């Protein structure tokens, strides 16, 4: 899954994170040998306990359970407690889309976002992913944090010496943060930014995701979550996977044909004067990156490659990639 993330151009959730996961394991904070177990439920909603193992593995197991049940029932979900960071939310949703289904994947995360009116980070960037088969467009795949931007984008701005637009973050006093340094001491804005531009909606969405994950599963939530890569203790995240089989309510293929027609109407729309290109389908930039990776391999930056080689040396595992041609 880390490689899949690199291939989709999302380096922040890819193999660059491997040293962080290993640090959690070495500190005894995550149990790499744990496997998820079923922990209650009814036919269309199962709870798993990931027993503090790999989030990626537990997520795949839970999504597969939801996919199987949705084939029978038309709709099914699985929720996980006591789990860890699961990488890109879109991976799980796309697994359902590849089976001809609508997949939704949700997770709570480290508290980095200030609720509207609050000046402290108390809720996560809680991602929402939704994917579906889309005919000639491949897959529709919305995969978004419910903050305006991820914290990593502010770290990038800091390295580049950029100023920040209003709507991204607040400083430690709760004022609009205009420098990356001020933002890193403060908190991210939910999607929508301040209250006048709809930030309370992003706050509500982030909270709704937490309600459907941590609060539903009986995991940790909001300000109580120990940071995902902190060795202070387990994060006890909650994640939820929902699958819908469109063939439950219509002829096979009818849903996909409608979605293809709809997306065709959108990408053909006249654009605004400063548009960098035509209207995009959610997930299109990542699917393009994946196709480029098929040709040239996934690209790792030098620092990141060196860290993986070091990690491999420490565990006696050779870096499994040929030199670039």
The reply on whether position 179 binds a second copy by CB under 8 A is no
User: Which of 164, 161, 182 has the alpha carbon at shortest distance from 173?
Assistant: 182
Q: At 166, phi and psi to the nearest 5?
A: -60, 140
The reply on whether position 74 binds a second copy by CB under 8 A is yes
Task: Give the Cα separation of 36 and 88 in Å (integer).
Answer: 19
Which helix (H) or strand (E) element contains residue 3?
A: helix 2-7
Among 17, 103, 246, 298, binds a second copy (CB under 8 A): 246
Contacts (Cβ under 8 Å, ≥6 apart) of 78: 41, 45, 46, 47, 48, 62, 63, 65, 66, 240, 241
CA angle 279, 164, 197 (to 5 degrees): 60
Q: How far is the CB of 183 from a second copy (least distance, A)?
A: 14
Decide: 123 and 206 in contact? Cβ < 8 Å: yes
The reply on whether position 10 binds a second copy by CB under 8 A is no
The reply on whether position 265 binds a second copy by CB under 8 A is yes
Query: What distance lies between CA 3 and its chain's CA centroid?
Result: 15
Binding mask 32-61 for a second copy (x = CB under 8 A): -------xxxxxxxxx--------------
The reply on whether position 221 binds a second copy by CB under 8 A is yes
The reply on whether position 196 binds a second copy by CB under 8 A is yes
Among 2, 18, 119, 230, binds a second copy (CB under 8 A): 119
Site for a second copy in 280-299 (CB under 8 A): 280, 282
Q: How far is the CB of 194 from a second copy (least distance, A)?
A: 9
The reply on whether position 218 binds a second copy by CB under 8 A is yes
Q: Which stretch binds a second copy (CB under 8 A): 5-13, 154-162, 192-200, 302-310?
A: 192-200
Give the residue with the Cβ less far from a second copy, 178 or 231.
178
Query: What distance lies between CA 266 and its chain's CA centroid?
Result: 25
């Amino acid at each position: 899954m880390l490689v899949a993330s690199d291939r989709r151009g999302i380096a922040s959730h890819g193999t660059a994170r491997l040293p962080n996961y290993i640090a959690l394991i070495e500190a005894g904070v995550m149990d790499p040998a744990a496997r998820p177990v079923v922990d209650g439920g009814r036919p269309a909603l199962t709870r798993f306990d990931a027993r503090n193992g790999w989030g990626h593995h537990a997520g795949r197991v839970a999504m597969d359970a939801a996919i199987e049940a949705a084939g029978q029932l038309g709709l099914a979900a699985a929720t996980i407690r006591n789990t860890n960071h699961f990488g890109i939310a879109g991976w799980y949703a796309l697994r359902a889309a590849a089976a001809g289904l609508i997949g939704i994947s949700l997770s709570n995360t480290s508290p980095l976002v200030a609720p509207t009116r609050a000046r402290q980070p108390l809720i996560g960037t809680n991602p929402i992913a939704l994917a579906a088969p889309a005919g000639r467009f491949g897959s529709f795949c919305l995969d978004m944090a419910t903050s305006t931007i991820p914290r990593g984008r502010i770290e990038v701005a800091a390295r580049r010496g950029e100023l920040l637009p209003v709507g991204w973050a607040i400083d430690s006093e709760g004022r609009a943060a205009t420098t990356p340094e001020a933002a890193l001491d403060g908190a991210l804005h939910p999607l929508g930014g301040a209250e006048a531009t709809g930030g309370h909606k992003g706050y509500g969405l982030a909270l709704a995701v937490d309600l459907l994950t941590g609060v539903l599963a009986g995991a940790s939530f909001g300000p109580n979550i120990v940071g995902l890569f902190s060795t202070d203790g387990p994060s006890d995240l909650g994640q939820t996977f929902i699958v819908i089989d469109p063939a439950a309510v219509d002829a096979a293929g009818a849903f996909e044909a409608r979605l293809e027609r709809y997306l065709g109407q959108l990408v053909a729309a006249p654009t605004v004067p400063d548009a960098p290109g035509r209207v995009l389908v959610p997930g299109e930039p990542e699917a393009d990156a994946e196709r480029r990776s098929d040709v040239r391999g996934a690209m790792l930056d030098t620092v990141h490659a060196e860290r993986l080689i070091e990690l491999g040396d420490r565990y006696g595992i050779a870096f499994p990639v040929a030199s670039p041609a």
